[in-house]
Structure formats: structure tokens, C-alpha cells
Amino acid sequence: MKPKIVLDYLLAISLLLLLLLPTIVILFLVFKEDFNNPIYSSIRVKKNSKKFSLFKIRSMKVSNQINKVKSTSFDDPRISKIGKFIRKYKIDEIPQLLNILKNDMSFVGPRPNVIEEVSLYSNEENKLLDVKPGITDFASIIFSDEADILKDSKNPNLDYNLLIRPWKSLIGLYYVEKNNFIMDLEILTLTAISLFNKKLSTRYISKKLLSHDFNTYKLLFNPDRNLTPIAPPGHSNLVTQKDLDTVYYN
């Protein structure tokens, strides 16, 4: 058995046992808020383009779970009161430990996307589906403030595809090309550090990516962190609203 798989199983079982009681409390509080199922599942795409149910602790009001808006900002009115708290501290991701035990996911890998987003992938981005999706990767650390980036956005789906998706795909493709067990340990360590000091983790990642491709990543790691719209890998043009309408409303 590969070291990565052994690490996934051992770490997932250990964390499930460690977090069982506090998770039960969180689930009760979510249930108490509106007396609906506190677990939410959504269909995502994993390795080899296969579909699976990704589990999360529900952070939105039930009436808003099925919605054409796939990207959310921190001030999204669909998010419940306790939902803001569990999203901020990534507590809603805990049930994905079950996805790891089901062999749908790994701890480290590109984040799994919904079917609509994957249908927008270029041939280059489809390489992201050559590896298991993960709970964390370099892009997850850099864009852990994704909800804040999309705050006040009038069109979070489009802004996500203009400002965030291209970078997530680029960084994910870097992982697909370079990944190994040592890199996985590196990402897990950086993820733990980022919970207390995101700047330190981001500084380390920026040095790594800038040394890999300075001319590309200097646009991401500019001093003011002003994100500029760019085309996703393999695309020659920026994503448009028409592109999104094709997959979300047809």
C-alpha cells in the first residue's frame, strides 16, 4: 500500500476519534437552528471524471441549498448564523474525513469541483482529474479567504471564474506535475501552520511558486494582492457570463 494511502487512513481515523465529540455538538447546534438535517452532500467530480457525494456540515439555510449560485461570499445571505462560524474555521469540512475513508478523496490534492464548473474545464484543466481530489493543497491555503475576496460581489460565480479559478487551476496543475509524498507532508504542515499564521504559510508557498514560474506568479503575489482577471489554463479568453449561462441554465 502506498505511503500516501496509509497516511490518509491513519490520519482520518485519528482525527475522527479526536473530533467526534465536538463535531456532535456542532451538528446538534446546526440541527437546533432550523430542525433540518445538519449534514449536506453535493455531487462533485473526482479522479478519472467519476462523480461522488462530498459531505459537509450544512452552513446554509435549507431553502437555499439548491441554487444556481455555486460560489459564496462571507456576507452571502444564504449562510446561516452558525454557518458563518463553521465556514470561517473550516469546521464544515470535517465530514470529508469520511470521503477519505471511502477512498473518494485524499488529504492533499486539488479541491473537487461541482459538475458545472468541471464542464468549463479546458483540456489542460482536465489534467486536474488525473489525481484524487483533496481537502487541502497550496491553492486552498492561499485562497482560504475566498469568501472575503468575493465579499460584496454582485456576481460571485463570474468573479470566481475570473479571479480565483484560474489560479486554483494553475496551482493545482503544478501539484499534479510535481506531487510526491514529501510534498504532501509539506502541504499538511503548511495547512496546520496557516490556521495560526497564514502569512507565514503563504510566504513559503509564494517563494516556491515564484521560483517555479516567476513571470506568471508575480501577478498573484503582488504586494497589494490585487487580483486581476486572467484566463484559466488552456483558455485563450476570459470566462464570460455567457459561458456560465451555458452550463448553469441549460
207-231 per-position pLDDT tens digit: 999 999 999 999 999 887 789 899 9
Residue 127: other Cβ atoms inside 10 A:
18
Q: State residue 78's pLDDT score.
A: 80
Distance between CA atoms of 220 and 174, rounded to whole angstroms? 15
How far the first Cα of the chain sits from its last, in Å, is 43
Q: Which of 98, 30, 109, 97 is nearest to 65 (CA)?
A: 30
As a whole number, mean pLDDT of residues 56-68 equals 73
Q: State residue 69's pLDDT score.
A: 52
- State how many domains the chain has: 1
pLDDT at 71 over 90: no
Q: State residue 63's pLDDT score.
A: 67
Q: State residue 73's pLDDT score.
A: 56
Average pLDDT value for the chain: 92
Report which listed range, 13-17, 61-65, 67-71, 150-154, is most confident: 13-17
Distance between CA atoms of 198 and 232, rounded to whole angstroms? 25
Distance between CA atoms of 48 and 216, rounded to whole angstroms? 28
- Residue 70 — pLDDT band, cuts 50, 70, 90? low
Domain of 149 in residue numbering reads as 3-248
Q: What angle do CA 118, 69, 76 make, to 5 degrees?
A: 130
Residue 247: other Cβ atoms inside 10 A:
15
Distance between CA atoms of 94 and 25, rounded to whole angstroms? 13
As a whole number, mean pLDDT of residues 103-111 equals 98
- pTM score of the predicted model: 0.91
User: DSSP of the chain, one letter per residue?
Assistant: --HHHHHHHHHHHHHHHHHHHHHHHHHHHHHHHHSS-SEEEEEEE-GGG-EEEEEEE--B-GGGSS-S-----TT-TTB-HHHHHHHHTTGGGTTHHHHHHTTS-EEESPPPPBHHHHTT--TTGGGGGGS--EEE-HHHHHTTTHHHHTTT-S-HHHHIIIIIHHHHHHHHHHHHHH--HHHHHHHHHHHHHHTT-HHHHHHHHHHHHHHH-HHHHTTTS-TT------PPTT-SS---HHHHHHHH--
Distance between CA atoms of 14 and 8, rounded to whole angstroms? 10
